[in-house]
């Protein structure tokens, strides 16, 4: 099973920068053997094709994590049933559930705390974009 906690800190920093929309870090992940992290960052940013790529290329756990972050009920349920404490608490923290963030803080998982804070911004922007009817695609 692929878990974010298994990656080197330098790769996680590149992932965080990719989540900020910095294309050179996305490209770095893609060109240096981490296409799953490049796809995951784009999936979190709302790219449906990237999400499908994760499921189609053996990285379903990351696809489910992206969906759980978005609060999809079946994905949240799958994460809970996985009993993976990191996935449970990371996705909960992204959804602004206090116990998830507390779990990360207690373990001093600073890079993941920074990711959560960035993902919360992403989710807030996505929600705001959905509310403004004049931005809807036809």
* The dihedral formed by the CA atoms of 65, 69, 74 and 77, expressed in degrees to the nearest 10: 80
Measured between alpha carbons, how far is 123 from 94 in angstroms, rounded to an integer?
Answer: 9
Number of domains present in the structure of the chain:
1
Q: Is 40:122 a contact under the CB 8 Å cutoff?
A: no
For the chain, what percentages of helix, strand and coil (3-state, to nearest 5) are there?
75, 0, 25
Segment 95-138, tens digit of pLDDT: 999 999 999 999 999 999 999 999 999 998 876 665 655 555 54
pLDDT of residue 132: 58
pLDDT of residue 130: 59
Segment 28-51, tens digit of pLDDT: 999 999 999 999 999 999 999 999
More confident of the two residues 6 and 136: 6
Per-chain mean pLDDT for the chain: 93
pTM for the whole structure = 0.90
Domain residues for 47? 4-135
């Amino acid at each position: 099973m692929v878990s974010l906690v298994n990656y080197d800190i330098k790769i996680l920093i590149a992932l965080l920068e990719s989540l900020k929309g910095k294309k050179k870090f996305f490209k770095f992940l893609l060109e240096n053997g981490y296409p799953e992290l490049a796809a995951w960052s784009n999936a979190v940013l709302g790219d449906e094709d990237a999400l499908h790529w994760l499921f189609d290329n053996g990285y379903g756990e990351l696809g489910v994590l992206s969906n759980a972050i978005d609060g999809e009920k079946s994905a949240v349920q799958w994460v809970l049933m996985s009993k993976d404490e990191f996935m449970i608490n990371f996705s909960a923290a992204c959804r602004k559930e206090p116990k998830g963030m507390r779990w990360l803080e207690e373990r001093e998982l600073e890079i993941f705390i920074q990711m959560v804070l960035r993902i919360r911004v992403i989710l807030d922007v996505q929600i705001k974009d959905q509310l403004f009817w004049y931005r809807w695609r036809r």
